[in-house]
Amino acid sequence: MPAKARNNKTPMWQTLLAVAFWVAVWQGLAVCIGHNGLFLATPPQTVQTLWRLLPTADFWHRVGFSALRILTGFVLAVTVGLLLGACGARWRWFGTLVGPVMQLIRAMPVASFVILALLWVSPFIWMLTTSFSATTFGDDMASLLPRLPLTLDNFRDAWNSADWLSLYANTIIFTFGTFFVQLLTITTAGYVFACHEFRGKQTLFLLFLVQLMIMPVVMMVPNMLTLKTFGLLNTLIGVMMPYFTSAFGVFLMRKAFLAIPKELEEAALMEGCSWWQVLFRVLLPMSWPSVLAFATVSITYHWNEYLWPLMMLNDPDKQVLTVGLVSFAMGAESGGQWGTIGAGTLMVCLPLMLAFILFQKQFLRSFGFSGIK
């Protein structure tokens, strides 16, 4: 048994080689996208900065303070938990006494979500009532109740304040164009990771998952520099390109394909189907809940995208709904035209709201089947 355990132990040189590999990857990424440490510092820069901070008292003060808070919280939690558990086991009356408090603490996350939901709904109710109110500026402007008489003039003024047909068209092209390209890339990548074996498969898949840990805002400037090289600034295709693949989508479709019996793919191949026929005629229809779940996430995200189109699009004829809404809302805000702003915001949100109301059962069922919680 000890000999077997020794044989299973990873040699030191393999561990050092793995560390050296990831340090080299770190260095390569920093050289490619780091921009002299602005986005990602190189390993030497990191070591130099750490070496410069080590002798300073402020550095150790911050480290010690953070460690002390973590350790204090852990010790207090363990101490209180042990005392309450011991007292509850020793005296039944004590367990009965603190039982309601424990139930209340367990229910606190649910209650917190209810409160957050109410806080989230109140601005929407105010926007809805303000959109149909004739007077939106006065002592009762913060009221959630509609101010009589009701009117549709705010929607007419909002419609005349911007080229909504162009904004809707650009948003639909950006949102659904991105989704259809994503659908092609995530299904093919998910199929390869789920149904094929090749050297470096797990490493490549882990690199895909690393993208989930990188915030999109971090990559905006590098993406702009890349698109500028290809002459795609101020174009809808340039806005769409950074989203043409999705690590979350690849992970989701791989999970869906792994849940399908391997015998179905083998039977389709024996019947003469090519790999793309197996994918799009056998596996993809059986993974429809996962596709619908990803479609919900992707379309909602890109429909509400604001910062990236704002940075990329300078031509008013190419702007999307969120950018156009902010442009005309800034002018309306100076005049206190809150009814017009509310009506315009409702016009932006209305398509997604109607889609969710009409297909909410399908959406919720797809999230349940796909395993997204």
What are the phi and psi torsion angles at 273 (to 5°)?
-75, 145
Q: Are residues 340 and 196 in the same domain?
A: yes
User: Across all residues in the chain, what is the average pLDDT?
Assistant: 82
Q: Give the integer Cα–Cα distance in Å for 312 and 237.
A: 10
Q: Identify whether 70 is part of a domain.
A: no
- Domain stop point among 6, 30, 53: 53
Q: Are residues 40 and 161 in the same domain?
A: no
Q: Are 168 and 321 in contact (CB under 8 A)?
A: yes
Q: Identify whether 45 is part of a domain.
A: yes
Higher pLDDT, 133 or 193: 193
Q: Identify whether 204 is part of a domain.
A: yes
Q: Give the integer Cα–Cα distance in Å for 265 and 274.
A: 10
Both tokens of 90, joined, read 């020793």
Banded pLDDT at 371 (limits 50, 70, 90): low
Banded pLDDT at 368 (limits 50, 70, 90): low
CATH assignment of the domain containing 298: 1.10.3720.10
Q: Are residues 44 and 161 in the same domain?
A: no
Q: Tell me: the pLDDT tens digits for 39-89?
A: 677 888 888 888 888 888 888 888 888 888 889 888 988 888 888 888 888
Residue 372, pLDDT > 70, answer no
Both tokens of 144, joined, read 């959630």
Q: In the predicted model, what is the mean pLDDT of residues 280-289?
A: 87
Q: Tell me: the pLDDT tens digits for 138-192?
A: 666 667 777 777 888 888 888 888 889 999 999 999 999 999 999 999 999 999 9
Q: Identify whether 108 is part of a domain.
A: no
Q: Is the pTM of this model over 0.75?
A: no
Banded pLDDT at 332 (limits 50, 70, 90): low
Q: Identify whether 332 is part of a domain.
A: yes
Q: Are residues 343 and 195 in the same domain?
A: yes
Q: Tell me: the pLDDT tens digits for 245-262?
A: 888 899 889 988 988 888
Q: Identify whether 86 is part of a domain.
A: no
Higher pLDDT, 195 or 104: 195
Residue 123, pLDDT > 60, answer yes
3-state SS, the chain, equals CHHHHHHHCCCHHHHHHHHHHHHHHHHHHHHHHCCCCCCCCCHHHHHHHHHHHCCCHHHHHHHHHHHHHHHHHHHHHHHHHHHHHHHHHHCHHHHHHHHHHHHHHHHHHHHHHHHHHHHHHHHHHHHHHHHCECCCCCCCCCCCCCCCCECCHHHHHHHHCCCHHHHHHHHHHHHHHHHHHHHHHHHHHHHHHHHCCCCCHHHHHHHHHHHHHCCHHHHHHHHHHHHHHCCCCCCHHHHHHHHCCCHHHHHHHHHHHHCCCHHHHHHHHHCCCCHHHHHHHHHHHHCHHHHHHHHHHHHHHHHCCCHHHHHHCCCHHHCCHHHHHHHHHHHHHHCCCHHHHHHHHHHHHHHHHHHHHHHHHHHHHHHHHHCCC
Q: Identify whether 146 is part of a domain.
A: no
Q: Are residues 198 and 325 in the same domain?
A: yes
Check residue 234 and give left, alpha or beta (phi > 0: left; psi -120 to 50: alpha).
Answer: left
- Under 8 Å CB-to-CB from 98, ≥6 apart: which residues? 84, 88
What domain range is 280 assigned to? 157-370
Q: Are residues 184 and 333 in the same domain?
A: yes
Q: Identify whether 171 is part of a domain.
A: yes
Q: Are residues 169 and 46 in the same domain?
A: no
Number of independent structural domains in the chain: 2
- Under 8 Å CB-to-CB from 78, ≥6 apart: which residues? none
Q: Tell me: the pLDDT tens digits for 61-72?
A: 888 888 888 898
